[in-house]
Amino acid sequence: MENLVEIRDLKVEATTDTGRRIEIIKGIDLDIAQGEIVALIGESGSGKTTIALTLMGHTRPGCRISGGSVRIAGKDMVTLTERERASIRGTEVAYVPQSAAAAFNPAKRIIDQVIEVTRIHRLMPPEAARRKAVELFRALSLPDPEHIGNRYPHQVSGGQLQRLSAAMALIGDPNLVIFDEPTTALDVTTQIEVLRAFKSVMKQGGIAGVYVSHDLAVVAQIADRIVVLRGGEVQEVGTTADILGHAQHPYTRELLAAFEPKPRGEDKAAAEREPLLEVSGLLAGYGPIQADGLPLVRAVQEASLTVEKGRNLGIIGESGCGKSTLARAIAGILPASSGHIIFNGRELERSARQRSRDQLRELQIVFQYADTALNPEKSIEEIIGRPLAFYHGMKGRTRDARIDELLDMVHLPKTLRQRRPAELSGGQKQRVNFARALAAEPKLILCDEITSALDTVVATAVIDLLKELQRELSLSYIFISHDLSVVEAICDEIVVMYGGRKVEGITPAQLKAPQHPYSKLLFSSVPKLDPGWLDALELDPDLVKTYGQH
């Protein structure tokens, strides 16, 4: 028994509400050696989290392990009793969840939650546990390790909280740590810090890890071996270098292809350009109006930008930089406090309520989470059909025909018409979300992080779709994202935002050489497929100090 983890012919099945059983993991074999980090990679629904959870003998409600064995240091997690599993969880196997913010109890101090594991398993006295926690905080390069534990979860940033949840997992000296997409919700600049901290702690302690992710570039930095999953089956296993260099399986190649820069269509000559949207000196924010007539919290200040007909503008920046607020101000959802929005040659009212129906029709907004942007109680047909009826007065058969056309445009089968959003996959929902905007026949579509909730391959497909539609319908997009590669792929011009202000406007040609220091930091923080990238990366410490307060 050399391997720490030996999974043999693991099967997990789920029971649906009609009592039908579906096999979601179809016989997986997997070994993890002592101190090895193995990445499970695959699209959503491929079973990567389900496999990771079986390592703790756990399945989600409605699922059960139906066959095979999961041996950790000789003990089979499948056959152990719940009590025996509980004694192993936290001491031998630990889990770092995707959303640390949801995993911490907001009413308790962080330190008490971090050392809870030692209390439950009676590993050491609280004082010793506290000292150990502080050591871990230091090892994870958290600021002010002596005192950060005394804060409450809302008083630290997302990246810090994610590292604190890793400390919580590590305090019981586990042999195996499961990371479930721990950096997916973080900004690129923050992600680097967190990845570095994870990597150094794991290497120092010789701890084995399972890293679940759909981001190949991130996985390349931290994993020794990569397991590619699809549909509950292992597609390909290999060392990181092997997978990146000589991928065999088509799905792995698809994943890799998503990273290759795509050639862009020919740019129109400057003379033919006509401005479609001009925003100048826009200020928008939240909170009560102050004496100077401006809101208390100013999320966007003095934003100016221009979008030309048939061209795309990208807005990029970390979370909280005001990029979504800017989009909402342009769409009139959050009326701007000052500034001008000129659309198609005419000044727009600041509030959507005062804009004419035609102005609203020509400027559509598509939101990040298709789950909340589509009414769960309506069928796809009703969702897409409403703008047709509302703006174009379409009824009966003409409307039905148009719905079919729109579904066709976004590459969705007509059979989906009667379904509800919950019965669609993430990528399909985002397509419906987009089809609804198209139904209005707009001139400009504001895309607010529309690919952020999708995995790489699906996101690439959505971006390709957007480009295709642009060619056919002569649309313009404003593309808001924190993901540089996405913006790069589709935009003719990129605006970098920081702290509510536009810091730089750049064209893709200049991408390699941004001028503003924040742009430099942002652009250099985007993970590359090269496994040595993270170790070789040197960020200017002054820059990180100024802009990366995480």
Q: Which residues bind other proteins (CB under 8 A)?
A: 16-18, 20, 331-333, 352, 355, 357, 360-361, 364-365, 367, 369, 372-378, 386-387, 390-391, 422-423, 436, 440
CA 187 to chain centre: 9
The CB-of-387 to other proteins minimum distance in angstroms stands at: 6
- DSSP per-residue string spanning 212-238: EES-HHHHHHH-SEEEEEETTEEEEEE
> Amino acid identity, residue 128?
A
Neighbours of 177 (CB within 10 A): 22
Residue written as token pair 């939650």: 113
Residue closer to other proteins by CB (options 20, 512) is 20
Say whether 317 sits in a helix, a strand or coil. coil
| Best CA proximity match to 400, nearest among 455, 439, 444, 430 | 439
Residue closer to other proteins by CB (options 188, 440) is 440
The CB-of-282 to other proteins minimum distance in angstroms stands at: 17
The CB-of-275 to other proteins minimum distance in angstroms stands at: 22
Residue closer to other proteins by CB (options 16, 204) is 16
The two structure tokens encoding residue 229: 């999953």
Residue closer to other proteins by CB (options 208, 327) is 327
Nearest-5° angle of CA 345, CA 361, CA 356?
65
Residues 153, 180 contacting (CB under 8 angstroms) = no
Residue closer to other proteins by CB (options 333, 513) is 333
User: Which one-letter DSSP state was computed for residue 268?
Assistant: P
Say whether 432 sits in a helix, a strand or coil. helix
The CB-of-292 to other proteins minimum distance in angstroms stands at: 24
The CB-of-26 to other proteins minimum distance in angstroms stands at: 18
The CB-of-117 to other proteins minimum distance in angstroms stands at: 35
Residue written as token pair 């099967």: 11
The CB-of-328 to other proteins minimum distance in angstroms stands at: 8
User: Which one-letter DSSP state was computed for residue 22?
Assistant: E
Residues 24, 64 contacting (CB under 8 angstroms) = no
The CB-of-12 to other proteins minimum distance in angstroms stands at: 17
| Best CA proximity match to 171, nearest among 215, 211, 111 | 111
Residue closer to other proteins by CB (options 378, 467) is 378
The two structure tokens encoding residue 16: 């649906």
Residue closer to other proteins by CB (options 227, 383) is 383
The CB-of-276 to other proteins minimum distance in angstroms stands at: 18
Cα–Cα distances in Å, from 467 out to 14, 311, 415, 432, 474? Answer: 38, 11, 25, 16, 10
Residue closer to other proteins by CB (options 228, 370) is 370
Residue closer to other proteins by CB (options 332, 548) is 332
Please report which residue ranges of 176-335 form alpha helices under DSSP H: 188-205, 216-222, 240-245, 250-257, 323-331
Residues 174, 205 contacting (CB under 8 angstroms) = no
| Cα 495 from Cα 26, distance rounded (Å) | 46
The CB-of-435 to other proteins minimum distance in angstroms stands at: 13
Residue closer to other proteins by CB (options 478, 484) is 478
Say whether 144 sits in a helix, a strand or coil. coil
Neighbours of 342 (CB within 10 A): 15
The CB-of-324 to other proteins minimum distance in angstroms stands at: 11
Residue closer to other proteins by CB (options 308, 362) is 362
